[in-house]
Structure 1
């Protein structure tokens, strides 16, 4: 695990529909394990991306999607999930 924070990435980078919606809509409501929470997303800098890439490499080492998940395009759209 990277740390106690939660991070998400838009697989298709900043041009993806999900990322574009995230930029425009605040707050978001997400549901995890049957529990709904309002959250904000905070863009992350490059410092955390290497650690996130390492976690992806460890978890998805056999996935044909790994390279896309750790690409520069996806890294540019890494955000931290912040509960409200």
Structure 2
């Protein structure tokens, strides 16, 4: 499954995204607000706290969850992004999209611990809830 152009635009232009990783029992963690960026035809998030972020640990462990932003609400898979070339593009996307934000927040998102938590959001069929 892929994102529609309308979904890419709506989520990509949203200032923030609500992310809820799924627990092993099928329930979802309380939504956490994160920054989201679009790079090409994909959407990415990072954990400001690096691997210490609770939502990130749950996302990595279970690999599935739910996101909402820009009027779009979607079940997703979480794919860790390890390609350094793609990550460089994601860094630029963060710097461009959030250029009006305090650099005390932006700089950590494109460095060290946060960069190592880059997750590509992949739409999936809605689970029966």
Question: What band does the TM-score fall into relative to the shorter chain?
Answer: 0.7 to 0.9
**One of 61, 66, 77 as aligned partner of 2:117:** 77
Question: TM-score, normalization: structure 1?
Answer: 0.83
Cα deviation, residue 56, structure 1? 1.7
User: Bigger relative contact order, structure 1 or 2, given CA contacts below 8 A and separation 6+?
Assistant: 1
Q: How many residues align?
A: 84
The answer for the alignment partner of 1:49 in structure 2 is 87
Query: Which residues of structure 2 form unaligned runs of 5+?
Result: 1-37, 125-129
Structure showing greater radius of gyration is 2
| Alignment partner of 1:7 is 2:44 | yes
RMSD value over aligned CA atoms?
Answer: 1.7
Q: Secondary structure at the match of 1:65?
A: helix
Deviations 1:11-69 (A, max 9, x none): 11122111111122342122234443211000001221111111222233342312111
